[in-house]
Structure 1
Amino acid sequence: MPLLLLGLVDAAFSGFRAYAGRDAHIRKHRATARAALRGLAVGAVLLLAPVLTAALLLLTASDRAGTYDLLTAGGTGYVLPLTGYAVVVLLSLAAYFVLPFRASTLAMVVGLGPLTLLRPFAVAAACVGAVVNGGGGSGLLVGTVAGAAVLGVEPLVHRRWYRHVL
């Protein structure tokens, strides 16, 4: 459940990032909320892929209890690097909202900008964490599918709704 929640929050932010910078209007709260909801919707659909992958692994396994244990260990190993990444992102967001204008802009440029670029590396670290924690091939497979799903939200939202400049 924590991984699903983390994936859905990331999907909402991905929808926002797909829209960000496309509209020069000053008041764009509705548009940013709509973009976040679009990301959330696309993410919810894409995150069905790892759920279905795990279900298929469990249904076809000869030792379902052992496979379940592998997937549980893999999920625990997967969530640890992502939790560290999420904490840093949340601290950067908190700095953006709490600090005065210039300092918050610096927090955005120094923190959130590079962190967005590091997302694929955080997902790769999560996949490694799934294997190292004892998830084996099953944990790696589900983690890779989940990572591809999460990283695919922003390009899909961008392509579907924001390809052309407004």
Structure 2
Amino acid sequence: MTPAAPLLLLGLVDAAFSGFRAYAGRDARIRKRRRNLRSAGRGLAVGAVLLLAPALAAVLLLLTAADRARAYAALTAGGWGYLLPLAVYAAVVLLSLAAYLTLPFRAATLAMVVGLGPLTLLRPLAVAAACAGALRNGGVPSLVVGAVAGAAVLGVEPLVHRRWYRTVQ
């Protein structure tokens, strides 16, 4: 079994949240569910396109490898090393999100300020930890694919913001 499917799922979910974050706070209307869904969809679409880059990098590494079986094993091991820190990060985010959605208003606000806010700022560190795990488990080729994936995931929010939500000055 390869870590490709869980990593793709995490990347797409993160892309949808990135699209939402690119839009969040730009509209003071109370009822904005449709706009929130549209922004998440935009993030998902941009993320799906950007996540083709690490897949292409992995395919190119496999095609140019002298020993494809060994390269595949290294990329798989690196993928598991990449997945572990991201899975821990995602679990903490889900816990914080669950607290936000289920607690009363004041406690939910606290969960947002103490949990989700700082966790958003820690995303690049989670990606860096994932890259370190890929390097440790799979070597430099895994790090290359992981770095491309990290750049893709971290690039979704700025791209969505620039394309749809930038204010004209």
* TM above 0.5: yes
1:98 counterpart residue number: 102
Distance across 2 between alignment mates of 1:53 and 1:84? 25
Distance across 2 between alignment mates of 1:160 and 1:131? 33
Structure 2 gap segments, 5+ residues each: none
1:144 counterpart residue number: 147
Quote the offset at 1:126 in angstroms: 0.2
2:80 alignment partner, one of 76, 81, 95 = 76
Q: What amino acid maps onto 1:11 in structure 2?
A: A
What pairs up with 1:16-165 in 2 under 5 angstroms? Answer: 16-133=20-137, 135-164=138-167
- The alignment's TM-score, normalised by the length of structure 1, stands at 0.98
Give aligned pairs, total.
164
Q: What amino acid maps onto 2:26 in structure 1?
A: R
- The alignment's TM-score, normalised by the length of structure 2, stands at 0.96
Structure 1 gap segments, 5+ residues each: none
Quote the offset at 1:164 in angstroms: 1.2
When the two chains are superposed, the root-mean-square deviation of aligned CA atoms in Å is 0.7
Secondary structure of residue in 1 paired with 2:28: coil
Distance across 2 between alignment mates of 1:51 and 1:150? 13
Distance across 2 between alignment mates of 1:87 and 1:93? 10
Q: How many percent identity over aligned positions?
A: 79
Secondary structure of residue in 2 paired with 1:23: coil
Q: What amino acid maps onto 2:28 in structure 1?
A: A
Quote the offset at 1:110 in angstroms: 0.3
